Every structure is written in C-alpha cells, then in structure tokens.
Amino acid sequence: MLRVVNFAHGVMYMLGAFAAYYGAQLLGLPFFAALIVGPIVVAIFGVILEFSLLRRLYGLDPIYNLLLTFAITLVVVDLVRLVAGALGSPYSAPDQLSGVVDLGFGPYPSYRVFAIVASLVVCAIVWYVIERTPVGSRIRAATENPILTRAFGINVPLLVTLTFGCGVALAAFAGVLAAPMTNVEPGMGEKIIINTFAIVVIGGMGSIAGSILTGFVLGIVQVLAALLFAQLSDTAIFIMMVIVLLFRPWGLFGKPETAV
C-alpha cells in the first residue's frame, strides 16, 4: 500500500520468530501470547526504522528504499548471528496443537491446520480494514494523494508510520506462526523474501486482495510442481511471474498506474 520496496520484510519475519523463541526461553512466554507480543515488539522496531531512516527517502526513486532496506537486512542478520549463532534452534508447537487431524482425505498435522486458518483469518481482517473501513480509506488516500489528504487535516506522516508498523507486525506474526514448522535461525527470512516479492509483482502493487489470493495460489502451484517435477519447485513462481509481466506488467489485480 505504501509503495515502499521493503527488502527488510524477511528480517521482520525472522525477528518475529526469534521474539517467540527467546520469549519462551527467557520469560516462559507461551505460544499464543507470543503471537501477540512478538509482532508488537517487532512493530516498534519497524516504526523506529521508518521514522528515523525510511521517511527521509520518500519522494526519491524507489531504488533508494530497496538499497537501504537491503543494507538493514545484512546488518540485522549479522547482528542476530553474533548473538544467537548461525545454527538454528527448534521451537515447539503448543501441546494443544500437537498431533494430527483427520480431514476426511487423510491425516494432517494439527498445527499446520491452525496456521492455515490463522493466516486466512488475518488476511480477511487486513482486507476488510483496508477496503471497507474509514481507516483503510485514509490509508489509501494518503498513499495515492498525500497532499490532498493532508489538506483535510489528516496527519499523513503519522498514518504512514503506523501503516508501516502494521505491515512489519504482520511479517513478525508470520514469523511466529512459522517458528514451530522450521528451525529459528538468522537466515530464515532470506528463504521467503524473494517469493514474497514475486507474489506482490504477480498480484499487483497496492492490491491487498491480489497479494492474498496470489500467495495462496502460488503456494499450491509450488507444491504441485514439487510433486510433478521436483526440479521446478523453486522456479515455478518465477516462471509465472515472467508470464504475467509479459502480458500484464501491472499485475493480475493491479492497475496500470500502479506499475513500478
């Protein structure tokens, strides 16, 4: 929504997982509490980052945002490696979500069912807030015409900062959700950030529904590609991205004026 090419989203995802891990190790923070506390802690870091650094680059070529957030990614990942080490650490799922669930067509891990449902609920809430509430209208107005929005008495810089913080919190929330399904390690954000950018490009810049639908569809495509032809599992998303860019450079759900 903010048209900020934030390469540090993978870092926020990773920090969310580490917030849950160290919250459990040092403070005995339970998983369901970590789903709330972790995103809030990382969001505060994101707000500081936006206020102190990113805000100075608005109005410039988007490549400056990309370069800055890429540099932040390198610095934060190395700092986490110094503190936590390069090897991953396991983070156990809560006992309530252990075991498997019979879905009718076969058993499936209970925690993964929870992660899917939680993702769907959060995506629906984000879409509703952005598309159907006065707050969402102000956010869209602030990103599309900040000067006119400011003329109506809306504090655009504060709105942008809070929106950026919410985006960071969502990335951290995803990191907490992913922690029990993978090792918590400094490089875990690098594994998802490229796919994330591909999803945004295919879905369309500025389209919340486009990103949500594209993310779920491409996840299924990647799994099917791995089953049918394993060598294509990591490149299937990018093959689709090339095809979409050839025919709709602004994305499947975007508009021509939102192309980057």
Strands (E), the chain: 100-102, 107-109
List per-residue pLDDT tens for the chain, 260 residues long: 677 778 888 999 999 999 999 999 999 999 999 999 999 999 999 999 999 998 888 878 878 888 999 999 999 999 999 988 888 889 988 888 888 888 877 888 999 999 999 999 998 999 899 889 999 899 888 888 888 888 888 898 899 899 999 999 999 999 999 999 988 999 898 878 888 888 888 888 767 788 888 888 888 888 888 888 777 777 888 888 888 888 888 888 877 754 44
Q: In whole angstroms, give the CA distance from residue 140 to residue 137.
A: 5
Q: In whole angstroms, give the CA distance from residue 167 to residue 152.
A: 25
Domain spans of the chain? Answer: 9-189
| All residues at 6 or more sequence positions from 46 whose CB lies less than 8 Å from its CB, including other chains | 12, 164, 165, 167, 168, 169
Do 11 and 186 meet the contact criterion of CB atoms below 8 Å apart? no
Q: Would you put residue 104 in left (φ > 0), alpha (ψ -120 to 50) or beta?
A: left
Global pTM value: 0.87
Q: What number of other Cβ atoms are within 10 A of residue 84's Cβ?
A: 16
Do 199 and 218 meet the contact criterion of CB atoms below 8 Å apart? yes
